[in-house]
Amino acid sequence: MKDPWSIVLGAALALIATAAVQRWLIPDTQAKTRQRERWEKDVRELADLLAKHMLPALFELSNATYTAVELDTEIRSSPHPDHKRNQASVKAKFEEHRRLTKDYDSQMGLVEILANRLEHLNSDADGWSELNELRSALVGAWNDFYVRGDRAKGWPSTETVDETELHLSIAIEKMSRWVEGLAKLNKPPKRPAVHRRMWRRVRRLRLADQNA
């Protein structure tokens, strides 16, 4: 016959183990599952945004910039522009350019947000450095296009529009290919080995001591 105290102790330990699993292990697993599901949604959204929306929107914005440049050149070169006949049409073209520029800037902001959220999973993985380089090149190309197409700073030449559009489209395509590959793989870059992670922490601590 088993010792009654052994039975009670075993039951108590089982109860404690069950409570611990329900209190910590299950919520942690559920949180990780939700995080992974959000990551998969974000990477697919970013891949679609780059592949399906950014280039068509860029071509539309580039055409609007062309039109605005040509209108501005025509107005400046004409000694007696017919303001009464053209004023509403010209204003509408400039407003369209401004709207498209604002919309594209919003899409670039969304690219930044999604890319940042992707890096929350395995944040110390080496692969994210490549994504950061592609993102920096994309943002730099957009800033170049945006600044040169700013009416307040003077309209660019059509050759400049072509040049900046080309740089931006190349940056979009490069980042699009990288993100699409990540979406097909459907998992984030691997974290470095444990000893490499420890060595990184040591180097960060040393650097902090040197800067202190």
pLDDT top residue among 189 and 73: 189
Report the C-alpha dihedral over residues 174, 175, 181, 182, rounded to 10 degrees. 160
Measuring CA to CA, how many Å separate 25 from each of 20, 31, 41? 7, 10, 24
Report the C-alpha dihedral over residues 152, 158, 163, 166, rounded to 10 degrees. 100
Contact, 47 vs 176, CB < 8 A?
yes
For 45, what's the count of Cα atoms within 13 Å in the CB-facing half-sphere?
Answer: 15
pLDDT of residue 141: 92
- pLDDT at residue 11 is higher than 60: no
List pLDDT tens digits, range 70-114.
Answer: 777 777 676 555 554 567 777 788 888 889 989 999 999 999 999
The residue-averaged pLDDT of 176-182 equals 92
pLDDT top residue among 19 and 45: 45
- Give the integer Cα–Cα distance in Å for 67 and 60: 11
- pLDDT at residue 169 is higher than 80: yes
Helices then strands, counting H and E runs in the chain, come out as 7, 0
Tokens of residue 158, six digits: 């059509």
E strands, 13-79, are: none
- Using pLDDT thresholds of 50, 70 and 90, give the confidence band for residue 50: very high
**Sequence spans of domains, the chain:** 37-201
The residue-averaged pLDDT of 22-35 equals 64
In CATH, which of 1.20.120, 1.10.3470, 1.10.10, 3.40.50 is domain 37-201? Answer: 1.20.120
pLDDT of residue 44: 93
